[in-house]
Chain A
């Protein structure tokens, strides 16, 4: 699984007095800004001394590029296009993956029968299918969404199966003995029990969706932020290319951070229950 790298950070801060905490926050911020300054200075020095390829833009050039990007409408349109394609594919993957996963997970025979197929799908580098899908559907948004779904479905599916599989046998027996209705069982027993796993899958799927959507744009004529990067590179506008790359990173970072926050508030009960 890909769950291990996103373990919740251990409670490290020991709750010192408020003023001390504030002060430390400020000094940490100052140090972080200092580190940023050092990184940028190293970059600038590397460009000026010719350590990086000659086309690499300098720090002021990229800063200007960032400004040019933010103030142009084409940038925001492209960002919107990437965002909507990635979101559409992500939502389809989540619905499909959770549905199939919760169907497969509790049924032992189905779980065993599908394991090789699911494993294969997960390990398959979907991007390799891109030329084939491109031939079938053309350089369209529906092709892009199809590719996103084919890439992002698997983590949701695998995590949902794992979550559904982990249902406590004692609870399963209780449910059977009391003849709990199927729908109630699904909503109040299976779903909550699988939720911690499902949310991890949903989160991984989000970053894969962005990766796939941008990747498709880089490789084909589908419009979006990835296409903008390729176009800027072809036009030798390296400052803009770096600026777009920066925004692509910022975009990915924002999505990851938001989802991590949503997940921890959604699963607050789980963490309390398990200590």
Chain B
């Protein structure tokens, strides 16, 4: 009963908004604002025919590979730069500069140079996502307790073991925070790169339908991307709570 009341409290507004949309758009005469029922109908048609599922698979694969590359490069370099004070001081302005480049501006350059296949999209996502991960990993490494650091040194802990068992876990909360920042950037860059030029994926579905004036499909594709983005972010926060349960339990926040 208690959970039911709570669900009611949290869900009444979204339900109300969707209901208003449903009825307000039902008799829409504006061809650019199709009725919600029509959008849902089209969405269902293209999901059950597998068209949208395939598109989502293409987009999400690009996103995942790009993010994995960004995470691998960002964490490795971050551990290295964070541990070496000199390197950090020297490279700091450059890293901040690359972090500040509006990621969407990269899209025409990388896609123009490498064509419209999957690889340039993966590179663009990776390039856009690597900087927040890198910066956060550096911050995390710097935050490792100095005492722990000197104890490891005094006991002559081998370098590799030291990185794997001391620095990496110590920096983990910050690393995960970096991934959390990178994730929405990656989704945006994925969508922009597909809207810019593509022949498959969710962005292509949207682009293609708007170019051929299939307006309900355009709305449907946009909603689909939004819902997928929302699900990814929610799943990530669940993953974060799991991976960092020791950190949240320690009350360090």
Residues of A within 8 A of B (CB): 2, 4-5, 7, 10, 28, 31-32, 34-36, 39, 53, 55-56, 109, 112-117, 119-120, 122-125, 127-132, 134-136, 207, 210-212, 214-215, 218-219, 225-226, 229-230, 233-234, 238, 241-242, 244-245, 248-250, 252-253, 255-256
Known: A229-B108, A253-B100. A5 touches B94 (CB 8 A): no
A123: chain B residues within 8 A (beta carbon): 184, 229-230, 232-234
A129: chain B residues within 8 A (beta carbon): 222, 226
Whether A125 contacts B188 by the Cβ 8 Å rule is yes
Tell me if B68 is interfacial: C-beta within 8 Å of chain A: no
- 4 A-B pairs with the lowest CB-CB distances in the bound complex, closest first: A215-B104, A249-B101, A252-B100, A128-B225
**Could you pull out 20 A-B pairs where Cβ atoms are within 8 angstroms?**
A2-B180, A5-B136, A31-B89, A35-B94, A113-B10, A114-B13, A117-B14, A128-B203, A128-B225, A207-B100, A211-B102, A211-B104, A214-B105, A215-B105, A215-B188, A219-B195, A219-B196, A229-B105, A244-B105, A249-B98
CA distance A36 to B98 in the complex (A): 13
Whether B195 contacts A229 by the Cβ 8 Å rule is no
Residues of B within 8 A of A (CB): 6, 9-14, 17, 32-33, 86, 89-91, 93-94, 96-98, 100-109, 112-114, 132, 135-136, 139, 142-143, 173-174, 177-178, 180-181, 184, 187-188, 191-192, 195-196, 202-203, 206-207, 210, 215, 218-219, 221-222, 225-226, 229-230, 232-234
Whether A131 contacts B206 by the Cβ 8 Å rule is yes
Whether B218 contacts A135 by the Cβ 8 Å rule is yes
**Taking CB as reference atom, which chain B residue is nearest A109?**
B9
B234: chain A residues within 8 A (beta carbon): 119, 123
B90: chain A residues within 8 A (beta carbon): 28, 31-32, 34-35
Whether B114 contacts A53 by the Cβ 8 Å rule is yes
Known: A28-B90, A55-B113, A127-B192. A132 touches B218 (CB 8 A): yes
A32: chain B residues within 8 A (beta carbon): 90, 93
Q: Tell me the number of A-to-B contacts counted with CB atoms below 8 Å.
A: 177
CA distance A35 to B10 in the complex (A): 53
Known: A36-B94, A113-B9, A253-B97. A214 touches B102 (CB 8 A): yes
CA distance A214 to B94 in the complex (A): 21
CA distance A238 to B108 in the complex (A): 11
Which of A124, A135, A225, A230 makes the CB contact (< 8 A) with B210?
Answer: A135
CA distance A252 to B101 in the complex (A): 6
Instruction: Tell me which of A128, A207, A242, A244 has the highest count of chain B C-beta atoms within 10 A of its own C-beta.
Output: A128
Whether A241 contacts B222 by the Cβ 8 Å rule is no
Whether B109 contacts A245 by the Cβ 8 Å rule is yes
Whether B12 contacts A211 by the Cβ 8 Å rule is no
**Taking CB as reference atom, which chain A residue is nearest B103?**
A211
Instruction: Tell me which of B6, B17, B195 has the highest count of chain A C-beta atoms within 10 A of its own C-beta.
Output: B195
Which of B32, B109, B219, B229 makes the CB contact (< 8 A) with A124?
Answer: B229
